[in-house]
Amino acid sequence: MTGWEMLAVGAAGVAAGGINAVVGSGTLVSFPVLLAVGLPPLPATISNSLGLIAGNLSGSIGYRRELRGQRPLLLRLLPASVLGALTGAFLLLHLPPETFEAVVPVLIGIAVVLVAVQPLLQRRLRSGAGDEPAPPVRGRRLAALLAGAYATGTYGGYFAASQGVLQIGIFGLVLRESLQRLNALKNVLTLTVNTVAAGAYVVVATDRIDWVAAGLLAVGSLVGGAVSSRYGRRLPAPVLRAAIVVLGVVAIVVLVTG
């Protein structure tokens, strides 16, 4: 890698880490850059997942205030996310890319629609509840969340782009939480999925990791995640929702045309 290429990868890491902290589509920035500097698709995917973990961590720390009170739910969802990440990593290493990538644009499209209509659906769901407090997360609601955590974990372990969009779209329909608190939940689950998947790659596919690219992405995403979580958490919900929808649409266009 030349000096300019290393600079480009580092800058992509900053942008990806920042986007992941507040939305969750940073891979759409970093992955094409890795391809542009000469990495084949599979090593690019693996190195990208490994490099962006640092940004996931700094983004999660930046949203720690919004995580207050969500620990019991996180402890329930984390095992499903871990299992999903392992499933996704297995698929990445054993299935042809075309098999899963054909479904990716559809999944992102569904997530974008869910995020866009979430306020309307939540108002309808609450219309008969008056001012009563939100019911505890159990039964069918908990099952839906666990299924969503596993599904998005599988998706993230295989192809991380817009994993956060999917998570916010699904969880937002089940949980009566603000968009910023959903974003905090998303950051922790994404960190878990990427860490587990990257660990699996290191164990069984070490030869496919470009450690220079992963290191540059790690440094850049650490900075981007920290800065973006500090300021992105102040964004009004409509602005954040619009950003999620726009990046989700961009993701579909990139995947379909790429």
Mean pLDDT of the 95-102 span:
72
Number of domains observed in the structure of the chain: 1
The CB density around residue 246, as the number of other CB atoms within 10 Å, is: 13
The CB density around residue 150, as the number of other CB atoms within 10 Å, is: 20
pLDDT at 240 exceeding the cut of 60: yes
Mean pLDDT of the 202-230 span:
89
| 202-237 residues labelled b (16+ CB within 10 A) or e (exposed) | eeeeeebbbeebbbbbbbbbbbbbbbbbeebbebee
pLDDT at 229 exceeding the cut of 50: yes
**Which of the four pLDDT bands, split at 50, 70 and 90, describes residue 33?**
confident
pLDDT at 128 exceeding the cut of 50: no
In this prediction, residue 153 carries a pLDDT of 92
What residues make up the domain containing 95? 3-257
CA atoms within 13 A on the CB side of 168: 36
List, for residues 151-195, the tens digit of each pLDDT value: 999 988 887 767 877 788 788 878 877 778 888 888 899 999 989
